[in-house]
Amino acid sequence: MDNTGAQALVAQVMAHPKYKTITPDLVLRLSQEAIAAGLSGKPALKSVRNKLHQVGGAYFKKKVDYATATFALQNLPQDLHAPQTLEFCLDMLRVHASTAERLPIIETFFHTCLAPIAPVTSINDLACGLNPLAVPWMPLAQNATYHACDIYGDMLGMIQAFFTYFNLAGQAMPCDLIAHTPGEYSQVTFLLKSIPCLEQMDKTIAVRLLEQINSDHILVSFPAHSLGGRKKGMPAFYRDHFYALISGQAWTVYEFTFATELAFLVSK
C-alpha cells in the first residue's frame, strides 16, 4: 500500500490536541483502513477521529494535565499507603470514566477478584487507562512486576513516573491491541472493561486476546451500566457474551458481581 495518503491523514488527525499523544501506529492503521474503504478528505478524517474517540476519548470528561500530575508526584511521601498518596491516586482515578466507576468498590474489587491467586507476582494491564494508580488497593507480592499498555503517550509517561517514584518494578508502554497482542508473560493479565470498547473496532478481538494472552490467569470485567449511566440489562448481556466467548475452553472461571462491574477471573 502507498502510505503517502495515509501518512498525510495521520498528520491531520494528530494535529488536533485531543489526538496528538496517541500512539502513531494506531492512527496509521486506522488511516490505512479509512483509505482502503474508499474514504478521503473530511470523511476520512472524521472516520479516524470517531474511532479514536470510541476507543479512548469518550472515557475522559476533560483534558488531563499529566505534566502537573507528574510534578505533584514529587511532593508525595514515598509510601503507597500514606494518606496523601491515596488522595493523589483517587484524584487521578476520577478523571477516567472507567476507573471513576470503580471507586465505590475500590477497597474490595481487586482483593476479592484476585484472592484465588494472591499475592500477585506479575501483572500485564492491557488498555490500562489510569488503573495502575489503583496499585495501593491490589494484593501484590513484594517486588511484583507491573506492565501497563495503552494508546496515550502522555498518560503512559505519568504512569511510568508513578512507577519510578514509588520504586515499583513497572513499565508503561504504548500498544495497539487489535494489531498486536503483547507477548510478555505475567501471572495475571487485566482486561478491565476493555472488551466492549475493542469490539467496536474488531468483532473478533476478544476471542483472539483471550486465547493469545501469555498468562496463567486473566481478570476480565464488564461495565454494569453505560457511560451515560443506563443499565439496560447490561450485566446479564455481558455475562452471556463472556461465556459465549470462552465456549469450548477448559478454563476455570470465578465470577464476581459488584454494583458497578461484572468480573471474571479466568484460570487457563
Domain that holds residue 48: 4-55
| pTM confidence score | 0.92
In a domain, 237, yes or no: yes
The three-state secondary structure class of 176 is coil
Q: Which residues contact 70 (CB under 8 A, 6 or more apart)?
A: 157, 158, 161
In a domain, 225, yes or no: yes
Number of domains in the chain: 2
E-assigned strands of the chain?
120-126, 140-150, 169-174, 186-192, 215-223, 252-257, 261-267
Residues 243 and 181 in one domain: yes
In a domain, 61, yes or no: no
Residues 46 and 100 in one domain: no
Amino acid at 15: A
Check residues 256 and 41 and name the one with the higher pLDDT: 256
In a domain, 60, yes or no: no
Residues 251 and 133 in one domain: yes
Residues 191 and 238 in one domain: yes
Residues 75 and 183 in one domain: yes
Question: pLDDT (tens digit, 9 = 90+) per residue, 7-45?
Answer: 999 999 999 888 899 999 999 999 999 999 998 889 999
**What average pLDDT does this structure show over 46-58?**
81
Longest dimension (CA), the chain: 55
Residue 51 near residue 202 (C-beta atoms within 8 A): no
Residues 34 and 165 in one domain: no
Check residues 183 and 61 and name the one with the higher pLDDT: 183
Dist CA 87 CA 198 (whole Å): 31
Dist CA 64 CA 134 (whole Å): 17
In a domain, 38, yes or no: yes
Residues 161 and 224 in one domain: yes
pLDDT band at 228 (very low <50, low <70, confident <90, very high): low
Residues 33 and 75 in one domain: no
Q: Residue for cell digits 471474571?
A: 264
